[in-house]
Amino acid sequence: MSIIVGLTGGIGSGKTTVAKLFQKHGVPIYIADERARLLMERPDVVEAVQQIFTTSVINENGLLDRAKIKQLVFDNKTLLEQLNQVVHPRVKKDFEDWLEEHKDSPFVIKESAILFESGLETSCDLVILVVAPEEVRIERVMARDGVSKDQVLKIIDNQMKDEEKVGRSQYIIENNNKKTIESDIITIIRDINSKNHLI
């Protein structure tokens, strides 16, 4: 069975860049957000999600209006919890099926922005944390999403602080635009492969 490695980091830390570099070196990557997005297009999931809300969250194509849902749950913890109860068990099952497909790989990576917040790290053998200075993260998200600095700061404030995540991670990748991170990734791949017979 493969070693399961969690990959996480706050918004704008550059997790996706790091994930793609691992993929380039032949490591299978499960991107939780992307898989959840695909799962939310299934008719049974569309129906289950709609039942949570009093207003329609289905667009003219019969798919979930993700922007509207995001808006409705942003300041409503109860709705967010209900949404997570629909989505998370299905993502968990999807990951188990995906893991079975990749069971011959020495290790696989499960990428999730909320790995610690959602308790997903308990299903991982090791965790890689991607960090970057706050000003770099703010610039990246503003450029990528076309949002204001205040909006980015609000999201950062809602996420677990890096200091707390560092103490719970086995590997830290500093992604600050100043140096290449590929050598760090190669080192981590070698180290995890050397642990393979120990786990």
Digit-coded pLDDT (tens) for 104-153: 999 999 999 889 988 889 999 999 999 999 999 999 999 999 999 999 99
Percentage with pLDDT > 70 across the chain: 98
Question: Is the predicted pLDDT of residue 44 greater than 90, yes or no?
Answer: yes
Burial class (CB in 10 A: 0-12, 13-18, 19+), 143: exposed
Which residue ranges make up the annotated binding site?
A: 12-17
* Report field, pTM of the whole predicted structure over 0.75: yes
Residue 35 binned pLDDT confidence (cut-offs 50, 70, 90): very high
Does residue 198 surpass a pLDDT of 60? no
Q: What does the alpha-carbon distance between residue 42 and residue 45 come to, in Å, rounded to a whole number?
A: 5
Residues in CB range of 93: below 8 A, 6 or more apart: none
- Spatial CB neighbours of 36, under 8 Å, sequence gap ≥ 6: 87, 90, 91
For the segment 35-49, the average pLDDT, to the nearest whole number, is: 94
* Predicted local distance difference test score (pLDDT) of residue 195: 80
pLDDT of residue 88: 85
- What's the pLDDT score for residue 83? 94
Topology of the domain covering 1-28+107-198: Rossmann fold (3.40.50)
Does residue 185 have a pLDDT over 90?
A: yes
Q: State percent of the chain over pLDDT 90.
A: 78
Q: Calculate ∠ Cα 85-157-117, nearest 5°.
A: 35
Indicate the annotated binding residues for ATP. 12-17
Using 50, 70 and 90 to split pLDDT, how confident is the model at 33?
Answer: confident
98 membership: H or E segment, kind and range: helix 77-101
